[in-house]
Amino acid sequence: MPAPWKVLVVDDQAANRSALSALLEQDGRAVVVGRASDGTEAIRLLREKEPDVITLDLEMPRMDGFTFLRLVPGIRRVPIIVVSTDSRPHSVFQALELGALDFVVKPTVGDISPSSDAGRDLREKVLAAAEYGNRIPGPEVPERESTGWRSSGISCVAVAASTGGPPFVQALLESLTEPPPFSVVVAQHMPARFTEAFAERLKKRVRFPVSELKQAEPILRGRAYICPGGLISTIKSVAGHPIARLSPPAGERFAPSADVLLSSVADAFGQEAACVVATGMGRDGAEGARAVDRAKGRVFVEAPSTAVLPTMPLAALEAVPTARVMRQDAMCRYFSNAARALAASRPPARS
């Protein structure tokens, strides 16, 4: 068995530090090498213990998590998972912009157990982050770009993302310098409340309307929609018009589910569907990408070399070996150019 990953737990509550440590060490894949009650102590332990990954509270005395995040790059490269309450979702996005790899909503002490969803999610993300920070680059997947859209064009682009996804989604939407001649629907793995905050954050940075997807909402060209956390989002064709349908999870591992969303986009739009499977942990999006491919739509995959976690892109490539593989910057350029080309090819609206 390989040596366990070394974890530094940073939280101002002793009960949380103890519960998190017990959770992370429960199966032998990780060992907590330090516990810090604030950022100042965490800086000292970072230098002394050289952890593989850090769990970080944001609200702490003396030195808070934001200051700690600003100082870490000058000391040592290490992945950081923010463990935050859900009362201030915008703080989490600030932490992601400062370099945190991902976040989990802080469970109550009673819910920090290996059998709880919250505990399992936290442990999986911490272990994945440790592997990310210490991974040895594997064989490079050849990039397969594409020139132009087929003449029938694209009506909807569905995006699947998880860990590392928010910066990817933001970059992709920001690359569209004007309202695109297609809709964009994003399944980003996030809890309820955070997806609404994510949509509001994007709305201030993107040049066309962005909103959290609502029940029975029509899916319009020139708009982007963020699937709400905690619900399953599908797109249905009703009398020839794409309409959003939201429902409680029914056994899906993730909510939103990229597989469910992408499959529904394939059904609703057929060959005018496109999907992008970006960075993330797990296989969500692979079956959905296969559905888009079967519908003769287009499948795009972020190159594993630029993905924060490459497991979702690699799973999608396994499902659709002919998918177009692009680095994040190339993906942004492609969709920006394609949007302009499609807009220019459409006949002008009648007055």
Backbone angles phi, psi at 302, to 5 degrees: -65, 135
146 catalytic per annotation: no
Distance CA 73, CA 61 (A): 21
Distance CA 46, CA 240 (A): 57
Helix (H, G, I), strand (E, B) or coil at 325: strand
Q: Which of 12, 52, 259, 284 is catalytic?
A: 284
Tokens 């954050």 belong to residue? 201
Could you report how far apart the first and last alpha carbons of the chain are, in Å? Answer: 70
Q: In this structure, are residues 36 and 10 in contact, taking their beta carbons and an 8 Å threshold?
A: yes
Q: Which of 57, 189, 257, 263 is catalytic?
A: 189
Helix (H, G, I), strand (E, B) or coil at 349: coil
Q: In 10 A of CB 37, how many CB atoms?
A: 17
Q: Which of 162, 175, 233, 257 is catalytic?
A: 162
Buried b (16+ CB within 10 A) or exposed e, 214-250: eeebebebbbbbbbbbebbbbbeeeeeebbbbbeeee
DSSP 218: B
Q: In 10 A of CB 95, how many CB atoms?
A: 22
**Following CA atoms 213, 288, 82, 100 in sequence, which dihedral angle do they give, to the nearest 10 degrees?**
-100
Helix (H, G, I), strand (E, B) or coil at 177: coil
- The strand pairing partners of 232, in sequence order, are 247
152 catalytic per annotation: no
102 catalytic per annotation: no
Structure tokens at 347: 């006949």
Give me the active site residues, please.
162, 189, 284
